[in-house]
Amino acid sequence: MADERLVKSRKRVADHGEVFTPCWLVDDMLDLVKSETERIDSRFLEPACGSGNFLVPILERKLTAVKARHGRSDFETRHYALFALMCVYGIELLADNAAECRDNLAGTFTRSLGVRAGEELDRAARAVLAVNIVRGDALAMTTSTGDPIVFPEWGYLGKGRYQRRDFRFDNLTQRASASEGLFAHFEEHEIFTPVRTFPVMTVKELAA
């Protein structure tokens, strides 16, 4: 796009090295892992997510897959779409970028499903994004307040029910370096245990 803005200001470039990836390059890179971007349950983490240049097109591809597989059922479409959103994660150093990323992802989600702002599903989606998109330092693995970054592992149990377990990012990266990736096939005997496990939740409970 000719009018695509890749830099917000020279000061931000100098202070933070902030330059956004152009859409054409994002699409080319995502095409290299096309099958994963079209898997509803594949998890993507962008450690410097900016305003969502990578995460938004990933979500768009996932939502297209949801409609192709579950489009005959509005109930399944909505719940699998929320699960697709649950599988998108980001870390961003700058507060305005993190907020913009959440808004861009939420907007993509609601437009795709025809959901109005403030509706129950929109509120549930924003609750998910509040914990999936973290303001922090990916290299230090800490939040903006200096606490360890924690990410939720979301699971869709069917029939409108979701399970959430929280894991520390530093533990997950240690496991990923010697395994298949974040959240891959956790077993009961794993040394990387959740820091918190939540009761099974519905969209209504997530939105509350």
Average pLDDT (136-140) is 95
Say how many domains are in the chain: 1
Confidence of residue 206 (pLDDT cuts 50, 70, 90): very high
Token pair, residue 26, equals: 């994002």
The answer as to whether 18 is a domain residue is yes
Proportion of the chain above pLDDT 90, given as a percent: 75
Q: What is the pTM of this model?
A: 0.85
Average pLDDT (138-161) is 97
C-alpha–C-alpha distance, residues 185 and 108, integer Å: 29
The answer as to whether 114 is a domain residue is yes
The answer as to whether 29 is a domain residue is yes
Average pLDDT (34-61) is 95
Q: Supply the range of the domain harboring residue 131.
A: 10-154
Amino acid at 149: I
The answer as to whether 95 is a domain residue is yes
The answer as to whether 194 is a domain residue is no
The answer as to whether 107 is a domain residue is yes
Proportion of the chain above pLDDT 70, given as a percent: 81
pLDDT score, position 173: 81
The answer as to whether 173 is a domain residue is no
Helices (H), 39-142: 55-70, 74-86, 95-113, 120-132
The answer as to whether 208 is a domain residue is no
